[in-house]
Amino acid sequence: MIDRFQAAAEAAGAVVGRFPTLAEAARHVRETTGGPVAASELPDAVRKALADLRFASPQEYRDVRFGLSFATAGVAATGSLLLELSDPAGRGATALPPVNLVFLTASTIVPDLQSLSGTLYRLLASHPSSYLSLTTGPSRTADIERVLTIGVHGPKELHILILEGE
Amino acid sequence: MSRKIIHQKINDAFLRRALGNFAAQYPAARARAFEGEDFEALRERISAARKESLRILPEMVQRFTEHAERTGAVVHLCADAAAARDTILEIVRQKGADLLVKSKSMTSEEIRLNHHLEKAGVRCLETDLGEWIIQLAGERPSHMVMPAIHKNRDEVAALFSRETERHCAPDIPALVEVARETLRDGFLSAKVGLSGANVAVADSGAIGLVTNEGNARLVTTLPRTHIALIGIEKIVPSLAEALDIVSMLPKNATGQKITSYVSFIRGPSGDGRELHLVLLDNGRSELARHPRFQEALKCLKCGACANVCPVYETVGGHVFGHIYVGGIGLVLTPFFHGDRNARDILGLCIGCRRCNEVCAAKIDIEGLILDLRERGKKLPAQKPLMGTFMRNRTLFHAALRAAYLAQKPFQGRDGRIRHLPLVLGCDTGNRSLPPIAARPFRDLARERVAAKPLVPGERGRVLFFSGCLADFVYPELCRDVMESLEKLGYAVVFPQEQLCCGIPARYSGETGIARDMARLNTEALLAERADHVVTICPTCTMSLKRDFPELLLGDPGRHARALELAGKVVNFSELAARSIVEIEAPGEGAAVTYHDACHLRRGCGVFQEPRAVLERIAGRPVREMDGHDGCCGFGGSYAFKYPEISYEILKRKLDSIAASGADTVAVDCPGCRMQIEGGLDGAGSSVRVEHTATLVAERLRGE
């Protein structure tokens, strides 16, 4: 399932890395980003693992190079990530920076979109309002001469960090 | 549609190349996207769900409204375009805004939102790359999914240079970067953003957006007020139906498995933010109640009908459509933008039915276009004249005989017609026409003697319905049909009372005449005892099988008789294929390539039988050509009404034929034969075009 997810995500233009532990994934994030990071809601454990990272304020998102988020689930058939982005600032963190890093726990990968419908249904019903985003690869366009061009208004790069041991 | 505009689009080299490349790539990309998926089952589900939702549309609106309001969203139900525009303007003004950032919304094009808001002093900023390009150019989308497919990089660079007041090179990645950088300020400074919605979910009040560029996420995130403009037909009962649509859209639209972003938005995101859901009726409620045309509202706006349309490929969406383009655009235009705007474009459909084959919601697009023509404009002199001639067999046939004499001055030495004087008002467009025969088959039929069967025992009694073109232009083909079937063991009769099948009348919107033809032909063809009624023109087949019972629905007795007739109608190749076991061709003849007639393949679902008959009875191996099921550009009177478009479509077919290397093209339609033969003759080719029946007859005669 993880292999299928990785193949589909890579076919969609994402960069996929697999990490045995959160600590190793966190180290990779630190090494990649260096500077400040725009982050959407992250689980406490992730925040803790990245405690030494500087998190940017939403006002800075326009100029920040890296966005960081944590996926609720992955879809193997299409290499998609399900992101819960009900907080507008968190949404901005995945939409404005040119490079997005997303954690994905391997055990949350499901085979296809249909098998995600229960989760989607639950998430849509559980809060008074919600914003769910299925993200597949970086932002893209083919609006000029149908030439595929990666990175228009959204991220130009999408890095998926699969946590295999968690 | 003016000939000048058509001519201009046909001669727009970039447009032709862009559309041609896309048309060539789309089928394979689409097939890959649907790998492992059951397209038919998926579209069947979508179609059924849409139909049910349309049946209870007011209830769907109410359910969606209730659930959406519970999330804190404000729902505005707008009866028409003006009400929706006013509502949106009011929200923008309340927020003290003078800028509206937009992500792509065809519905906002429908109500011409930008035009009206700009007049009221609100600047609209399109952020979808294609939409921004055409906004800067002051044009309208030429495709529902790829709005700027008609613009090349040089034009885009010039537009961007003008807008940004600096030089932008015609380099696509650089141009995309210019859009990213330039539009950022708009996203960050706007107080109000407007999106469309691909789907709205009744039981949660959520909307779904299917996008690639990421602009919709910015439009629905950065401004504190989000307006979504939604046609009420987009409401589905629950997430299950929404996911079917999400699964269908990208695959059918552009051949993508899924888009970069699929977002479900339910309610405003707290913190004093606002979400306004503007539900647009604009004639939808009324259309949803129409017994026939409600089907049009099942449309998901995927644009696939344009992607496969040979006419769209030739002239683009600025000709083939109004604001909504492609096949479904022709259908939706009269309802959303009036008969005046629809009148010129409804005639542009060639009737090849490829759109029906790929429609995500299984809409009978071609059939709806035909029915809409009936409502459209009719030439004042057309009706009485057409009716009088077609209903009266003697008069009709006398007129065709007169035409035989009149054509004499225009015939070349080989009898073919290559130039027609302009007074006749039609243009052969680089094709030659076959002459009207000296004696139609209906006269020859009286004198002929039946051929002896090659195998003992009678297989059944057959009535031969020849269709007008074969009767008057290809009498030798009619002879081949009767002779082949007789040799295959059938008793064949040519009923002298048969008339035109009525298709020309139906295609011109003259349903009354078509109904008379249905009545008269049903009587003529049921007057004699027969097991089968054999046709050699698939358009006639569709008329006899599908249209006659429908046209005679109002009269239960006649309807029942039409159904009885429909049960007997069969295409020549279908019937011949049943004799394969007894008659096997001895040895192999020269290879042929096969052209699938649109109405045979997509109208009757017949494509294996003719190939089997060619290989196993006629002894001619079939060498497939690229695009064997693509339209030849004939379309009946279409070839004379729009000769330039017809010829452009034909050229693609001629190229495929040449590339196949075969010296003969087999086809099961006299119309396709006439078109392809004319094109090959015009191009100086020696490739021969024959109806499958003729190739069978040749073999059975031992030629």
Residue A101 amino acid letter: L
Mutate to test the interface with B, among A144, A146, A149, A156 (most CBs of B within 10 A): A144
Dump pLDDT digits (tens) for B452-498: 888 777 789 999 999 999 999 999 999 999 999 999 999 999 999 99
pLDDT at residue B383 above 70?
no
Distance of CA B128 to the CA centre of its chain: 27
CB contact under 8 A, A134 and B22: no
- CATH homologous superfamily of B45-285 equals NagB/RpiA/CoA transferase-like (3.40.50.10420)
pLDDT for B419: 61
Dump pLDDT digits (tens) for A6-61: 999 999 999 999 999 999 999 999 989 988 999 988 999 999 999 889 999 988 99
The encoded tokens of residue B476 equal 């030798």
State in Å, rounded, how far the first CA of chain A is from the last one: 16
Q: B138 pLDDT band (50/70/90 cuts)? A: very high
pLDDT for B379: 43
CB contacts, 8 Å: A140 with chain B: 212-213, 260
Q: B101-132: b or e for each residue (b if 16 or more CB lie within 10 Å)?
A: bbbbbbbbbbbebbebbeeeebebbbbbbbbb
Residues 502-541 (B) with a CB less than 8 A from some CB of A: none
Residues 570-629 (B) with a CB less than 8 A from some CB of A: none
Q: B512 pLDDT band (50/70/90 cuts)? A: confident
CB contacts, 8 Å: A61 with chain B: none
Q: B586 pLDDT band (50/70/90 cuts)? A: low
pLDDT for B579: 82
Beta bridge partners of A11: none
Q: B244 pLDDT band (50/70/90 cuts)? A: very high
Q: From CA A6, how far away is CA B364, in angstroms rounded? A: 40
Domain residue spans in chain B? 45-285, 441-700
Over residues B97-116, the mean pLDDT reads: 96
Residue B351 amino acid letter: G
pLDDT at residue B380 above 50?
no
Q: How far is A146 from chain B (nearest CA, A)?
A: 7
Query: What does the DSSP 8-state code read for residue B545?
Result: I
Cβ neighbours for B119, distance < 8 A, ≥ 6 positions apart: none
pLDDT at residue B371 above 70?
yes
CB contact under 8 A, B213 and A140: yes
- Return the percentage of chain A with pLDDT > 70, whole number: 99
CB contact under 8 A, B261 and A86: no
CB contact under 8 A, A146 and B22: yes
Give the mean pLDDT of chain B: 91
pLDDT at residue B381 above 50?
no
What count of residues does chain A have? 166
Element (H, E) at B27: helix B13-33
Q: B553-583: b or e for each residue (b if 16 or more CB lie within 10 Å)?
A: eeeeebbebbeebbebbbbbbbbbbebbeeb
Dump pLDDT digits (tens) for B418-432: 665 444 445 556 777
Taking one residue from A and the other from B, the number of pairs with CB-CB distance under 8 angstroms is 163
Q: From CA B369, how far away is CA B346, in angstroms rounded? A: 7
Q: Among partner residues B129, B243, B262, which is closest to A143 by beta-carbon distance?
A: B129
CB contacts, 8 Å: B153 with chain A: 144-145
CB contact under 8 A, A154 and B130: no
Dump pLDDT digits (tens) for B388-421: 666 776 767 776 666 666 676 667 767 776 665 4
pLDDT for A34: 82
CB-based contact A159:A101 (threshold 8 Å)? yes
Beta bridge partners of A131: B265
CB contacts, 8 Å: B151 with chain A: 144
Q: Is B271 on the interface with A (CB under 8 A)?
A: yes
pLDDT for B385: 59
Q: Among partner residues A96, A133, A147, which is closest to B261 by beta-carbon distance?
A: A133
Task: Please count the other Cβ atoms lying within 10 Å of the Cβ belonging to residue A150.
Answer: 17
pLDDT at residue B377 above 90?
no
Dump pLDDT digits (tens) for B631-644: 999 988 888 889 89
CB contact under 8 A, A143 and B184: no
pLDDT for B412: 72
Dump pLDDT digits (tens) for B522-540: 999 999 899 999 999 999 9
Among B309-313, B478-482, B489-493, B584-588, which is the least confidently predicted range?
Answer: B584-588
pLDDT for B386: 65
CB contact under 8 A, B18 and A96: no
pLDDT for A146: 87
State in Å, rounded, how far the first CA of chain B is from the last one: 49
Cα distances (angstroms) measured from residue B541 to each of B524, B528, B567: 16, 19, 11
Element (H, E) at A66: strand A66-70
Q: Is B147 on the interface with A (CB under 8 A)?
A: yes
CB contact under 8 A, A154 and B260: yes
Over residues B605-629, the mean pLDDT reads: 94
Task: Please count the other Cβ atoms lying within 10 Å of the Cβ belonging to residue B626.
Answer: 12
Give CA angle at B147 (B626, B116), nearest 5°. Answer: 155
Q: Is B182 on the interface with A (CB under 8 A)?
A: no
Dump pLDDT digits (tens) for B165-217: 999 999 999 999 999 999 999 999 999 999 999 999 999 999 999 999 999 99
CB contact under 8 A, A152 and B215: yes
CB contacts, 8 Å: B146 with chain A: 142-143, 146
pLDDT at residue B558 above 90?
yes
- Identify the structural domains of chain A with CATH numbers, from first to last: 2-163 (3.40.50.10420)
pLDDT for B420: 53
CB contact under 8 A, B266 and A129: yes
Give CA angle at B631 (B585, B574), nearest 5°. Answer: 35
CB-based contact B345:B332 (threshold 8 Å)? no
CB contact under 8 A, B254 and A128: no
Q: Is B179 on the interface with A (CB under 8 A)?
A: yes
pLDDT for B137: 95
Mutate to test the interface with A, among B131, B139, B178, B269 (most CBs of A within 10 A): B269
Closest residue in B to A14 (Cα–Cα): B260
CB contact under 8 A, B176 and A144: yes
Residues 15-44 (B) with a CB less than 8 A from some CB of A: 18, 21-22
pLDDT at residue B584 above 80?
no
CB contact under 8 A, B267 and A130: yes
pLDDT at residue B376 above 80?
no
Q: B508 pLDDT band (50/70/90 cuts)? A: confident
CB contacts, 8 Å: B214 with chain A: 95, 139, 152-155
Mutate to test the interface with B, among A10, A81, A133, A141 (most CBs of B within 10 A): A141
pLDDT for A165: 80
pLDDT for B629: 94
Distance of CA B278 to the CA centre of its chain: 31
φ/ψ of residue B344, rounded to 5: -70, -30
Q: From CA B248, how far away is CA B646, in angstroms rounded? A: 32
Closest residue in A to B173 (Cα–Cα): A149
pLDDT for B582: 67
Q: Is B169 on the interface with A (CB under 8 A)?
A: no
Q: Among partner residues A62, A91, A120, which is closest to B217 by beta-carbon distance?
A: A91
Among the listed residues B190, B184, B228, B226, the one whose alpha carbon sits nearest the alpha carbon of residue B209: B228
Mutate to test the interface with B, among A143, A158, A160 (most CBs of B within 10 A): A143
ipTM of this model?
A: 0.96
Closest residue in A to B257 (Cα–Cα): A78
